[in-house]
Chains A and B, each alone.
Chain A
Amino acid sequence: MKILVAVKRVIDYNVQIRVKEDGTGVVTDNVKMSTNPPDDNAIEEAVKIKEVGKATEVVAITVGEEKAQETVRKALAVGADRGIHVKADGILEPLAVSKILQKVVEKEKPDLVFMGKQAIDDDCNQTGQMLSALLNWPQATFASKIDIKDNKLEVTREIDEGLETIEINVPAIVTCDLRLNEPRYASLPNIMKAKKKPIEEISASDLGVDTSPRVEQIKVEEPPKRKAGIKVANVAELVQKLKNEAKVI
């Protein structure tokens, strides 16, 4: 079984983002970037499946600017075998990314495609589902447990009401929840080894995919600030305020 894992470079989840003063977006210059957290879970799961002998190859792919390649390199350092970097600049919408992934899937013919359930920058939560639609493959979104049974996967999904289990036939798409596993750290020797693993570079236009945005970003602004609250001296005052001032209890 061959697994393709899509990873995205985003602003690190510990960074407090800042909105640009001109309202055109979010400051990314000199800001720490890293792999989208649930994409790390996707890589980890694929590598684990390979380690137990159920996968033969793990290929990491990213779509984006020059520096996006760092996320592929990181995936190689934690166990992916080779990488693909589809170069594209500017804002990439999930629809464009899923069309690019579709082209790569048609060429690479993986049995499974894994990725995080959502990117923490645009918070779209679309790419995996869109790719499944384009390929007409089954989708298991928000996966917190994956059991491989021959050519089927039994996947537990995190849904609002609790947990749902579905069985899907390979080939299939799985989008990963943070609860799926605990991503490992890359060891120094493995980081060194990863530098020798191949990364194929392709451009989005070579794949014939138009990546121009369909949704225009008119402005980006800070959310309304909460007005400063007060400190209360004791519990009695707190309960009195909640009852008589805020009127919420």
Chain B
Amino acid sequence: MAVLLIAEHNNKELRPFTLNAATAASQIDSEVHAVIIGNNSEEASKQLSELPVIKKVLSVEAAHYENFTAENYAPVVFKLAENYSHIICSANTFGKNLMPRIAAHLDTSQVSDIIKVISSDTFVRPIYAGNAFATVRSNDNKKCVTIRPTSFEPCESSGGSAPIEKIDAGEEFSNTKFVKREEIKSDRPELGTARIVVSGGRGMQSGDNFKLITEIADKLGAAIGASRAAVDAGYISNDHQVGQTGKVVVPDLYIAVGISGAIQHLAGMKESKVIVAINKDGEAPIFSVADYGLEADLFEALPQFMEELNKLNTIQK
């Protein structure tokens, strides 16, 4: 039986993690179908049909699908599920909100946030905020699996031409009403997908001092992160928080400035490809995960860092 991928989109275009989830789905079975549930989302459906790994697109349109409400989405997927062995989507807030609702309808024990596909029923997933990896086998007939997007490469986005089949919409769930969405707009890359992240901790000493980080982030085209301590101290808003209770990031380069490296913070960044730590306390735990450690006062090191960057002829973006 084929695998059903739930596409994430904003009605205009696919959201990027759909491509990572498509890769994971294609590792489970080569026959991947995708369902897109939305309102006036033809353009996003078309993008989905162009992913070479997708063999068929199922499109469900209605006004009440405009805002991705799980209570409206879940019955649609439940109805389609009889033809599929697996239901897949990303383990971001979209998928986390939605998938368990589908799994419960199907009486399936969901496997959350996998980082590796071993076989069609066996997966690896982090537990204890990534401090242990569990290999698990699902014994349910239908498997509901959410995938950690940063653990799978995005699939090719063009070259495919899957047929798009229209499916009838389901009823509206009247006890939940969408009110508004406030998206945090920034010219910088999103923290969860940025290639480079520069993060500040309690060592920054004030919100004002974060401008030292901002400057470097702008130069590198990086996203700005923060430890929980910096957020709790009010230096920066909580959407920048990296860690167990914030975002998990896996950039090519993570620069931790004035961050001691509490367990909860490490859980959110230690899978980064290259880690730099700048801290004046040479014993700080952050150095134990850093590829390059600089024991220095950040108020001297950051301006120098900026100077050195300015000397470079080219900077990868």
Q: Is A81 positioned at the interface, with any CB of B under 8 Å from its CB?
A: no
Residues of A within 8 A of B305 (CB): 235, 238-239
Q: How far is the CA of A47 from the CA of B73 in the complex (A)?
A: 33
Q: Is B270 positioned at the interface, with any CB of A under 8 Å from its CB?
A: yes
Residues of A within 8 A of B96 (CB): 125, 129, 141-142
Q: Is B253 positioned at the interface, with any CB of A under 8 Å from its CB?
A: yes
Q: Is B80 positioned at the interface, with any CB of A under 8 Å from its CB?
A: no
Q: Is B287 positioned at the interface, with any CB of A under 8 Å from its CB?
A: yes
By the criterion CB–CB under 8 Å, are A234 and B294 in contact?
Answer: yes
Closest Cβ–Cβ distance, residue A246 to chain B (whole Å): 5
Closest Cβ–Cβ distance, residue B264 to chain A (whole Å): 7
Given A166-B176, A220-B133, check contact A26 B296 (CB 8 Å). no
Stretch at the interface among B34-42, B48-56, B207-215, B308-316: B308-316
Stretch at the interface among A12-20, A59-67, A106-114: A12-20
Q: Is A105 positioned at the interface, with any CB of B under 8 Å from its CB?
A: no
Q: Is A213 positioned at the interface, with any CB of B under 8 Å from its CB?
A: yes
Q: Is B132 positioned at the interface, with any CB of A under 8 Å from its CB?
A: yes
By the criterion CB–CB under 8 Å, are B109 and A164 in contact?
Answer: no
State which of B91, B122, B238, B295 has its C-beta within 8 Å of the C-beta of A179: B238
Given A166-B179, A221-B133, A249-B316, check contact A129 B192 (CB 8 Å). no
State which of A16, A121, A122 has its C-beta within 8 Å of the C-beta of B263: A16
Residues of A within 8 A of B276 (CB): 238, 242
The chain A residue with its CB closest to the CB of B270 is A226
Residues of A within 8 A of B304 (CB): 234-236
Stretch at the interface among B57-65, B97-105, B161-169: B97-105
Q: How far is the CA of A98 from the CA of B136 in the complex (A)?
A: 20
Residues of A within 8 A of B178 (CB): 164, 166
- The count of chain A contact residues (Cβ–Cβ below 8 Å) is 78
Residues of A within 8 A of B275 (CB): 226, 229
By the criterion CB–CB under 8 Å, are B135 and A138 in contact?
Answer: no
By the criterion CB–CB under 8 Å, are B127 and A229 in contact?
Answer: no
By the criterion CB–CB under 8 Å, are B139 and A214 in contact?
Answer: yes
Q: Is B2 positioned at the interface, with any CB of A under 8 Å from its CB?
A: no
Q: How far is the CA of A213 from the CA of B134 in the complex (A)?
A: 15
The chain A residue with its CB closest to the CB of B102 is A133
State which of B136, B190, B264, B309 has its C-beta within 8 Å of the C-beta of A216: B136
- The count of chain B contact residues (Cβ–Cβ below 8 Å) is 90
Q: Is A90 positioned at the interface, with any CB of B under 8 Å from its CB?
A: no
Stretch at the interface among B20-28, B81-89, B150-158, B181-189: B181-189
Closest Cβ–Cβ distance, residue A158 to chain B (whole Å): 7
> A219-249, CB under 8 A of B: which get 1 and which 0?
1111100100111101110110111001111
Which A residues from 111 to 161 make CB contacts under 8 A with B? 120-134, 137-139, 141-142, 154, 157-161
Residues of B within 8 A of A229 (CB): 275, 287, 289-293
Q: Is A169 positioned at the interface, with any CB of B under 8 Å from its CB?
A: yes
By the criterion CB–CB under 8 Å, are A231 and B296 in contact?
Answer: no
Residues of A within 8 A of B175 (CB): 137-138, 168-169, 172
By the criterion CB–CB under 8 Å, are B294 and A238 in contact?
Answer: yes
State which of B101, B105, B179, B264 has its C-beta within 8 Å of the C-beta of A165: B179
By the criterion CB–CB under 8 Å, are B127 and A95 in contact?
Answer: no
24 A-B pairs with C-beta separation under 8 A: A13-B244, A13-B263, A14-B263, A26-B132, A123-B113, A123-B128, A125-B112, A126-B112, A133-B101, A133-B105, A138-B175, A139-B71, A141-B97, A162-B181, A165-B182, A214-B108, A215-B109, A215-B139, A216-B137, A220-B134, A226-B270, A235-B294, A235-B307, A235-B308
Other A-B pairs, 20, CB within 8 Å; known A124-B110, A129-B97, A241-B292: A95-B110, A130-B110, A132-B71, A138-B71, A139-B70, A159-B94, A162-B184, A163-B181, A215-B111, A218-B134, A220-B132, A220-B135, A229-B287, A229-B291, A232-B294, A234-B304, A235-B294, A236-B308, A246-B253, A249-B220
